Structure 1
Amino acid sequence: MKCILVSFVVFYALFALTFCSLQRQFLYFPQDASHVYGEMNISFDVDGTQLLGWVLNEGQPKALIYYGGNAESIEANIPFFKSVIPDYTIYLIPYRGYGNNVGTPTEKVLYSDAVHVFQSVKTKHESISLMGRSLGSGVATYVAANRQVDKLILVTPFDSVENVAKDIYWMFPVSWMIKDRFNSLGRVKEITAQTYIFVAEDDRVIPRARTDQLIAEFSDQLVEVIVIAGAGHNDISQFPDYVSGLKRALD
């Protein structure tokens, strides 16, 4: 019995150490840029580092900045945005380490880069709206809480990465170990933008409780919650109700 207990403690400690040291590799899955959708055509200088990305429909008075998921090639959205939102200038800027961008993604650096991009483009447009999907919802809420934003669109969002991790790794002291928390829940009261939240009914990545907890924190700034029947975490944008809801939100 003593041998079993010792083995269990050793296994627990090793697994916890592995989680602690590799947690960012569990959170971020950078994708290389695909040129199928066109070459990158915009860049931003952030403290000497070039962030490259795509800008669509240049010259529109309204703009939308999109923040992708943790394993998303955001350029794959180019045909969708061109057809669905032609009257907005769309900014698709991969995170550091994603696409052709150098560097390593962390919560702090994603926030800093997002604010820099926002500041760089705001003078070119009458209004700026933000759209964040999954991990990107955590970036979007940060910018919306710290800058004046017209509309905020959150797709398959969570209350915090910390709480999602707690649901998965319930046996570990996650709050002590986690580095990147993406605490959208704690920022809701600072958000003034008209907010729309899209929920995938059959989401198997973000537990519904994590999204519902975030929704419950909003008050008057929450305009609509759109539940897409039959949609999963990764295919929500393929559903007509998602398209119509997005058009309605950005009308």
Structure 2
Amino acid sequence: MKSTMLSMLVTLLLIYLSVCLVVFLLQRKLLYFPTPPLLHFSPPMEATKVSFENGGERLSGWVVNEGRAKALLYYGGNAENIEYNITFFKDNLPDYTIYLIAYRGYGDSTGEPTEAHLYSDALHIFDQVTAEHSQLSLLGRSLGSGVATYVATHREVDKLVLVTPFDSTANVARSVYWMFPVSLLITDKYESAKRAPNIVAKTTIIYAENDNVIPRESTERLIEAFSHRLENSILIRSADHNDISEFPEYAVRLKRALN
């Protein structure tokens, strides 16, 4: 009887470890959801196609409202087609030149997304455009909030706006894959909360009341990590993770944070 129980426990342990190995090997497939290029997309006249080269890869995107003294670098969410933001930024932030550049492997950009690659690309693009503007601000949404906090700790940034952000991807993953030792398995952790104390840019956090992707406690831990250095944190009532930018209050709060 004891040997049978022991055999069952060993079998279950081996199955569990095998699943952990699969999760580890496929983690980037579970984390990143690259969007294909929009083959028939016709941008407004105010948007110009642009590309950057970094590490042998081409990073493609759009520039909106060219020639402004102030600029905003936008880091989008997972599975987001950045092109769909062109009209919003043209209408709501006419005083800013907006850079909408797709991550590696997203849209028309080449390569494979990893945390290190996204950081490297973001810094490279920042350094390429900084001479053209008197001020550079950052807007990071969801996954992009992790990229934005990294850039804000390594470059001089005027304002930082984080939309539906998280404290770390490890903590977000833990809320879904609670049965696995996520901290030991995950490689791309995007630890924004650990960077928050080192960020000096004027920072605003905008988050959704009914976010079904980022747990509320993850965002609240990030808010707590900023402590008194946070300019403002705004909860958009009735909004969820994907439709927050459709609420009129979102545009009002964003403009207020950047002005």
Distance 1:22 1:45 in 2: 28
Distance 2:58 2:103 in 1: 11
- Structure 1 segments, 4+ long, off by >6 Å, are none
Distance 2:137 2:77 in 1: 18
Stretches of structure 2 lacking an aligned partner (at least 5 in a row): none
Partner of 1:203: 211
Distance 2:65 2:48 in 1: 14
Contact 1:37 1:78 in 2 (8 A): no
Distance 1:167 1:153, change over 3 A: same
Q: When the two structures are superposed, what TM-score results if normalisation uses the length of structure 1?
A: 0.96
Q: Please state how far the C-alpha of 1:11 moved relative to its aligned partner.
A: 3.0
Identical pairs, percent: 55
**How many residues end up aligned between the 2 structures?**
251
Q: When the two structures are superposed, what TM-score results if normalisation uses the length of structure 2?
A: 0.93
Contact 1:37 1:75 in 2 (8 A): no
* Stretch moving more, 189-198 or 46-55: 46-55
Partner of 1:32: 36
Instruction: Say which SS state the counterpart of residue 41 (structure 1) adopts.
Output: strand
Partner of 2:237: 229
Distance 1:170 1:98, change over 3 A: same
Partner of 1:96: 104
1:61 aligns with 2:69: yes
In the TM superposition, what whole-angstrom CA distance separates every residue of 1:48-73 from its partner, at most 9, and x where no partner exists? 32211100000000000000111111
Amino acid at match of 2:37: A
Partner of 1:138: 146
Partner of 1:77: 85
In the TM superposition, what whole-angstrom CA distance separates every residue of 1:209-232 from its partner, at most 9, and x where no partner exists? 000000001134311111000000
* Stretch moving more, 127-136 or 220-229: 220-229
The match for 2:20 among 2, 16, 39 is 16
Amino acid at match of 2:67: G
1:126 aligns with 2:155: no
Highest Rg: 1 or 2? 2
Q: Please state how far the C-alpha of 1:185 moved relative to its aligned partner.
A: 0.8
1:173 aligns with 2:181: yes
Amino acid at match of 1:22: L
Distance 1:49 1:21 in 2: 24
Q: Please state how far the C-alpha of 1:163 moved relative to its aligned partner.
A: 1.1
